[in-house]
Amino acid sequence: MRGAVFLDRDGTLIVERDFLTDPEGLCLLPGAGEAVARLNAAGWAVVVVTNQSGIARGLLDERTLSEIHERLHADLAAHEARLDGVYHCPHHPEHGLPPLRADCSCRKPLPGLLELAARELGLDCERSWCVGDAERDLLAGEALGARSILVATGKGAAEATRMTAAGRPPERTAADLPAAVDAILAAAQASGSGCS
């Protein structure tokens, strides 16, 4: 079983939008494609786990989200990078109609999406990492038993300030996804464990 790097999507891998509802609006953050390619080359599984309450809110449907993710795969492929999986939560506890209006186990900060990916892809959670721009990303990773990194892109810088003021500063931070990948690869090299 190999380790994975679970990536949040908006603000971590791609430019943050309020709600991305059009594939044409997708834009990789600087260096993100190359960072994913480095993880691929080092043997890590790279998995996107993303809350997409825009579906519950009626802002987009599953077909449009699929088209957005097709664009994401294509943009990453232009950097010789690939994802091993993309998992999303369409629910929201307060918006939309059942069954999309729901308290679910797949909406971060709960780890349901990560657990599903780990089962389906045969991943070693204890060797894995979770990278995101929100505290909920870190909490989901920690609930899985993975290590987490908060990136300063997207809403990450504001989240770090808020978490620190609340007395729970993030354990690990990085300027962006490329810096987070530097830290992950350095930690793997130092431990001699790699991703498998």
Strand partners, 86: 48
Question: Which residue in 8, 75, 84, 137 is the catalytic one?
Answer: 8
Full pLDDT tens readout for the chain, 196 residues: 899 999 999 999 999 998 999 999 999 999 999 999 999 999 999 999 999 999 999 999 999 999 999 999 999 999 999 999 999 999 999 999 999 999 999 999 999 999 999 999 999 999 999 999 999 999 999 999 999 999 999 999 999 999 999 999 999 999 999 999 999 999 999 987 666 5
Q: Which two tokens stand for residue 156?
A: 């990450």
Tell me what pLDDT residue 192 has: 76
Tell me what pLDDT residue 76 has: 98
Q: Which residue type, as a one-letter code, is found at position 135?
A: E
Instruction: Give, for 38, the enclosing helix (H) or strand (E).
Output: helix 32-41
Looking only at Cα atoms, what is the longest distance across the chain? 49
Tell me what pLDDT residue 195 has: 65
Q: What structural domains and CATH numbers belong to the chain? A: 4-126+136-184 (3.40.50.1000)
d(CA 108, CA 141): 9
Q: 26 and 68 in contact (C-beta within 8 Å)?
A: yes
With CA atoms as reference, report the closest residue to 29 among 149, 173, 178, 141: 178
Direct distance between the N- and C-terminal alpha carbons of the chain, in angstroms, rounded to an integer: 6
Q: Which two tokens stand for residue 40?
A: 């691929």
Instruction: Give, for 121, the enclosing helix (H) or strand (E).
Output: helix 112-121
Dihedrals phi, psi of 101, to nearest 5 degrees = -85, 100
Residues 6+ apart with CB under 8 A from 77: none
Q: Is 10 one of the catalytic residues?
A: yes
Q: Give the global pTM.
A: 0.96
83: Cα within 13 Å, side-chain hemisphere:
22
d(CA 193, CA 169): 27
d(CA 61, CA 154): 24
